Chain A
């Protein structure tokens, strides 16, 4: 049956209102965010607060593009709605409508006008880009950022400081307010991305390449950052923070950190018990229960001290792992030469220092070379355990 046009219209309007209402609900839920991380305001149609000079210039472009986009949106949607109602087929329509094939003047108009608009936007965007990409002759602070799976290291070459993050919070980069900071980005393994939303900026961290950018933070505060390029298993957890403080406080902080770095005694020679590697080399019938040990020390926080372990086929093994570093680690054993094999056993990922883990499992019955690694740092922390007959 032919649908009643009035009912159709009523239905369309009510559904349209429902749809629009949903959008407005989402928008009204937002307010301009004035807070720093930790207690964020709901998202909004407009960007939140931007705290760097470069970011502010970038964010100031947004309202211009937004207004143009909304204008185009209202124009086109308005035309669609008008056309849908005005030119609906009516029962009185018998003859064909005028079969207009085209109009060259219109074609020229709606080619030229959009071309002018986008060219204008392009010029505007480029002028801002050149400003934010500008490099100072002599930056006040330099920080070298290294990204790796799944943590960050911040090095201050001039102040001789280095911070590597541990756990989900990641490291903290302290910067002086109102001064030019040059940040250099390098990657150890895969592509990451250094993203601070309140800087309105990100730059990729690419192996084999050094990326550089400069920021000038305009107000004190703590700003959250996150890796923004998918980099594997724990990509969601690769956070860091940037804390901007007045210059005086920055100097105090630098001094305190330098003192702390010097005061830390080097690990004593008789420190943690040296890890052993399985049954005694003198051979003979191996004991029924075998103990293997490995560790990670603060000097080499991304390595196992023992990467070659030995067990007997079919024996019940106890693996002891000491994580003495700041980074989250675990140890995971596999039933094959690489991690695509099924997993035999694994400990829980925990940061150190002083974190002793133990896990028991039955060694594979088939002699050969098997694989273990740290789940968090599966590229850097790998080893083999030999299964002897």
Chain B
């Protein structure tokens, strides 16, 4: 089956001003692109801050930025990357892709969707404006009493900006949950959803429960700062540790919010580029749900050195959360095992993610050992861990998703050679920048310091780490160039350049305003794969598995789908026997019957199917 391509000049009419269209759109695809573009801009800003930090740390001595500015820079770098880059980037990708993957025409609440987006630049502006008011030199963790007593007004701008962003996230989470639960295509049961949709579901639950806690904390801090409150002031009967509990109760689910979508993207890419289904779909779903649930039990592992938390409980659950993550790792490897791997850029990033996120995860296992945490908490060991999971983890997955879905968004594949160059620069740069930091932390170099002693022995590794940071920057320059030349080039990617499995590839690139002219039948987690490889017909008829084939994911409890024969006891509401509606074929004149009732030669139909080119010649 095919969806008639709608030319861009029709899909984006020039009758209306383009700018007005983009400012007022409620279309999830445009909002998705707005989110992603805004997020990427903040990525560049946050990256510049990182380069300033690393340049200062390259050699001992304060040559470059004074202490005051340094403290503002490292604080703002983290806030920017977490709240203004990774979160909106994943929300943007989800915004574009999730409704299409579930076969919906848009998100459940399009106008709230637009509102959620516009809170991002507004909140971001408030946060960036902090630099003009003394910055916010309190770390992204904003520990009281320092955050409550820091005189710089920039802190209040940060708090207000974060409250706005948190509200945006909460609204977005509700929107995703409503879309996923209520707008799925017929036939798409929960256990037939793409894994990206599953992780979006769990991430939305985490957002819903975690962000209000952060917002409450921010408001308490605002009251302490501006209205004589004493939540965190011991002189007034408050407790600084209360801030840490409130913050980390949000903060730990937050890091799963930052990584679960990455897991989802990798789980989308591996099956396509291995030509095999995701191994252990059910296990993946359970593992994702477990990580989400366990993520709420471990928050105080950030507080082991406070002397104020019950160490055995939090240590145990921190160890435990490694288990579902490990399950995912092994299932990914098993997906690739026995496959036919194609190392286009999305796959390079996905495999790079697996190989390096492993290091970040193992770091976490070390940190769960409380006596070891006493040594490396607040040192560069933690900085290394953070950056392995966030850069080698989330950023790699973001680029995997960008390269994978770019042709769907814009109808053009990003340049492969530049993509591979960027990947290797980023891979090497990430390791050079962050691996030495393990050693620095183990040697006692603490974090959040503008300078270190020349005789501490840390100079060489800091210099090496700075080189890595500039390699990462170089890789981003390559990406920007790639973006530039691709957007100027022809848009000839077609519907399904990667020979993929899920519904977004069953419509045009980019999709028409309401995503599908005709919705393909959904009988497994790979509806497009089924269509292309003969497991379903355009009319939703299921072909039973031939000998030696596995259709494990197809539901056996829908017997009326077998060969379209009416089955007693399964009549529809009017009492009519179910079967393929005769009028369906008339309404889809260009639908290609692959196999179905009356078609004896399934194998022949399959060969015909394979002979049809489904993706254009590979770009060089």
Footprint of B on A, CB under 8 Å? 1-2, 8, 15, 18-19, 22-23, 26-27, 29-30, 33, 38-48, 55, 57-59, 61-62, 65, 69, 72-73, 76-77, 79-80, 83-84, 87-90, 93, 96-103, 106-107, 110-111, 114-115, 118-119, 121-122, 125-126, 128-129, 132, 189-191, 193, 195, 197-198, 200-204, 206-209, 211-213, 226-236, 338-340, 378-379
Contact = CB atoms under 8 A, between A and B. Distances in A.
Contacts of A229: 143, 378
Given A27-B439, A87-B274, A230-B448, 8 more contacts: A1-B618, A18-B428, A22-B431, A48-B444, A80-B355, A190-B149, A203-B307, A209-B308
Given A44-B442, A107-B327, A228-B378, A204 B305 contact: yes
Interface string B398-439: 000000000000000000000000001001100110011011
A59 B378 CA distance: 17
Interface string B455-488: 1111011001000000000000000000000000
Contacts of A2: 618
Given A110-B326, A206-B241, A26 B439 contact: yes
Contacts of A38: 455
User: Nearest 4 CB-CB pairs, A to B?
Assistant: A208-B234, A197-B444, A58-B371, A43-B443
Interface of B: 67-68, 71, 133-134, 137-139, 143-146, 149-153, 234-235, 238-241, 274-277, 279-283, 305-308, 311-312, 315-316, 319-320, 322-323, 326-327, 329-331, 333-334, 336-343, 351, 354-355, 358-359, 362, 365-366, 368-372, 374-375, 377-379, 424, 427-428, 431-432, 435-436, 438-440, 442-452, 455-458, 460-461, 464, 533, 549-550, 552-553, 618, 620
Contact of B150 (A47, A132, A200, A232): A232
Q: What secondary structure prevails in chain B residues at the interface with A?
A: helix
B149 A84 contact: no
Contact of A110 (B68, B319, B327, B427): B327
A233 B240 contact: no
14 contacts: A2-B618, A26-B436, A40-B456, A45-B439, A80-B355, A96-B275, A97-B338, A118-B322, A121-B369, A195-B378, A200-B375, A206-B306, A233-B71, A236-B452
B338 A118 contact: no
A276 B308 CA distance: 47
Contact of A121 (B365, B428, B444): B365
**B319, B333, B342 — most chain A CB neighbours (10 Å):** B319
A125 B145 contact: no
Given A204-B305, A231-B146, A61 B339 contact: no
Given A111-B323, A340-B153, A209 B307 contact: yes
Nearest to B333: A79
B467 to A, nearest CB: 9
Nearest to B355: A80
B358 to A, nearest CB: 5
A122 B149 contact: no
A87 B536 CA distance: 28
Contacts, number: 309
A102 B552 contact: yes
Contacts of B139: 230
Given A73-B362, A99-B277, A191-B240, A202 B323 contact: no
Contact of A30 (B152, B369, B439): B439
Contacts of B340: 87-90, 93, 96-97
Nearest to A68: B365
B319 A119 contact: yes
B358 A76 contact: yes
B375 A102 contact: no
A61 B371 contact: yes
A137 to B, nearest CB: 20
Nearest to B151: A339
Contacts of B369: 61, 65, 121, 125
A236 B439 contact: no
A122 B316 contact: yes
Contact of B323 (A61, A69, A89, A114): A114
A232 B142 CA distance: 11
A124 to B, nearest CB: 8
Given A77-B358, A96-B533, A99-B276, A106 B334 contact: yes
Nearest to B468: A22
A58 B439 contact: no
Contacts of A119: 319
Contacts of A228: 377-379, 446
**A96, A189, A233, A236 — most chain B CB neighbours (10 Å):** A236
Given A26-B439, A61-B372, A80-B355, A193 B305 contact: yes
B336 A87 contact: yes
B341 A87 contact: yes
Nearest to A232: B146
Contacts of B370: 125-126, 129
B448 A235 contact: yes
Contact of A122 (B306, B315, B362): B315
B371 A1 contact: no
A314 to B, nearest CB: 26
A102 B283 contact: yes
B614 to A, nearest CB: 13
A75 to B, nearest CB: 10
A360 B71 CA distance: 29
Contact of A190 (B146, B327, B448): B146
